[in-house]
A and B are shown apart, each in its own frame.
Chain A
């Protein structure tokens, strides 16, 4: 078993880069990403796993980074919203107005991206199960639903060509 005590200089693999950071075992991945690496895309909405605004990918799986310790990410690939570029999900959120204030958006985009990677043919109930882990207070969810559906359609069409 690996144990960490006090301050540790470690490498984190974030968005394709290796970043050396000094962390304590008690620090969450969210706080290290935001405060030590400067990736402020993931947001602290509740720090309790309830809102999903801090969602990032850990080895391709969406996790709430407020519930993951930074030491748990050592040796694993972390992707934040800043690591997604020109994806169908991002384009669709713009086109379908899938956000208003934008605070929940990074979490919704990362989670939707992971959903469509993991299960490109997700049906409506699978999408609800997956995306009900994120809260949005502005949109009433209809435009987010349209954005995810549209990204799924475009992505599947372009891949089947």
Chain B
């Protein structure tokens, strides 16, 4: 054990490269051999493609090829195979790719893309789930019945429902019949974007051997590898995906993104390397963003506030294609009640197609959307009960032994949510139900929210770690976790340094992931990187220690059981002078006469999720939830009741993460998540005109938080150990976004004395609400 590593905050392994501009992201790899791709996108939200004239573009200097949907027969889809890589016959959303150009420079490719002429026949776009679910609504995917899909999702061909996940727990009708109080709210959240600062990029080259080499800004190199094989009939040994440093993911670079299209482009030009990089506008609109939601939340309680039942309808707005959205609707069903013990639950969670930009995974994976409705409804229930909003939540906190909506039982690793709420209340200074007058116009109000999340992932989600040793006794750590800014590589290195009892400087981290040389790792998503790769790395250390002892045992003539590895040495437990420095065994031991023994120490570690199952199609019963992270958040807001201007002055979070491996990195994830959740709630989301065209499709108009917009952050961690986690740790990367819409919505609703049910809550929206005449 190296007592100076765990629970401390050494600097990130890649720090110096990041402050000197030396770190390389996907788009920083260039070569004169490369050809460049440019996208042509649809100006219409829903239109038949009547003809494409590419002759002029093809004749332009430097242009190698122009591809349209007619040239490509394949569909690509993460879980539901619904998307042609280039729109074929019909464009289903504003900004959808309708043609691509390959040229010898990006500038020439972009010019030629402008010269491609497309004839459209416009159709009336469907711009909300509510419209899409009407019986007379146009069917956006008429061929749905022919799409292949994974088993856990349930598309409904002939409609716009790409998935319906159901939860049926207990007797909801009875619960509502017997309830003393019932509340009902309808919430609306628009689709929007991740706005990772790095636009997506993929570089693909097909070698003469048929090997496909992909360098991509991806959170999921192994998913890309597997899907490339699935969709294009490639052999897994011949697909090599490299993931260099990624400039922010937030879910938007999970799954498969530009890789498939870039592969088809390379194929078209005889396998030459092709780089396809999104402009910012394309990154917002042609590539997927985050999902929208229309939810109906009904909650029943007894006269004391004990929750009796929830009746929930979630209509996720997936946009034109399903991508991760089908699984987001499923994940939201699994945790549909929020972190509360609810004995009777009915939930229909649907993934609904519309003619809006499509959605993929986004930090929180359905939970941020789901939680907004639950938490706003709980505050309305507290008002009806004339009860403190924190007291109501504490009374209903989920605890060890309680059943989740899918009827799995919360085990003894369950975090202490009640204390999280207590701490949040104290950090906010108490009196959460009050509205404080600052002056004639301004008031101050507070709001809270609970949060929970389990990873939504395949039942066989895995991770691995390989430790090879160097001649100085240091080691090289190779995992399949992608560094996207979260710092997991450093956290896992800390676990290695601790387990091997060597200085952190002697754990060298392989930064890029290469699917041929890195061990398999499902994806850097779902807040499971540190948990799973950490466990694999720990096992690799144990394996290496066994090998080190085996060498030392022979050389020192001490039985293995009497040896310990500590302080960069392997030595006899009771006679430390009998020992060897790790450098003497790292590459095998060499005797004075030149004889050598054993060879390099190579530690191997692996992890695979245990005992997970899918959920039942009719009742939702099952065990898809590996580990739950619970927490509570709150904000304090100052609001001008005359103008609707407001400012979040304080944002607080208390979260039970099991064990803090690196306090600075953990804090960075929580504060970053809170900020993202604040932006999401107060200013973000796509704006569309009535023709379905996005009117804020650039960073000039799509507002995210800027320097100076941030409030005072306060974060506290609880450490109820995750018994099967590395040193007791559990996931924390996504969770802090989840509570922000609820907390902010509750604070602002309280401040103005009127309920807010739609995001983003801009000052303009607040002003309009203030001006509404109440009936």
- A residues near B (Cβ < 8 Å) are 26-27, 34-35, 38-48, 50-51, 53, 80-82, 84-85, 90, 93-95, 97, 99-106, 109, 127-128, 131-132, 134-145
Contacts and interface: CB of A to CB of B under 8 A. Distances in A.
9 contacts: A42-B21, A50-B280, A99-B19, A101-B197, A101-B247, A134-B707, A137-B250, A139-B672, A145-B710
Contacts of B195: 135, 137
Contact of B668 (A44, A51, A143): A143
A123 B672 CA distance: 24
Contact of A140 (B9, B198, B710): B710
Interface residues of B, number: 56
Given A40-B24, A138-B672, A50 B18 contact: no
Given A94-B11, A135-B704, A143-B668, 7 more contacts: A43-B247, A45-B280, A102-B247, A137-B197, A140-B671, A141-B675, A141-B705
A88 to B, nearest CB: 11
A140 B246 CA distance: 18
B197 A144 contact: no
B529 interface: no
Q: Which 3 A-B pairs have the closest CB atoms?
A: A41-B21, A101-B485, A140-B675
B668 A102 contact: no
B279 interface: yes
Interface stretch (B25-33, B351-359, B532-540): B25-33
Interface in B678-737: 698-700, 704-710, 713
A43 B280 contact: no
A47 B279 CA distance: 8
Contacts of A95: 11
B280 A48 contact: yes
Given A48-B698, A128-B708, A135-B699, A90 B19 contact: yes
A140 B674 contact: yes
Contacts of B640: none
Nearest to B198: A103
A18 to B, nearest CB: 20
B20 interface: yes
B674 A90 contact: no
B664 A97 contact: yes
B672 A100 contact: yes
Nearest to A50: B699
Interface in B181-198: 194-198
Contacts of B22: 41, 82
Nearest to B9: A97
Residue from A26, A82, A137 with most neighbouring chain B CB atoms (10 Å):
A137
Nearest to B201: A44
B668 A100 contact: yes
Contact of A135 (B25, B485, B671, B706): B706
Contacts of B632: none
B376 to A, nearest CB: 23
Nearest to B485: A101
Contacts of B12: 97
B761 interface: no
Nearest to A109: B19
Nearest to B699: A50
A26 B105 CA distance: 14
B197 A80 contact: no
A114 to B, nearest CB: 14
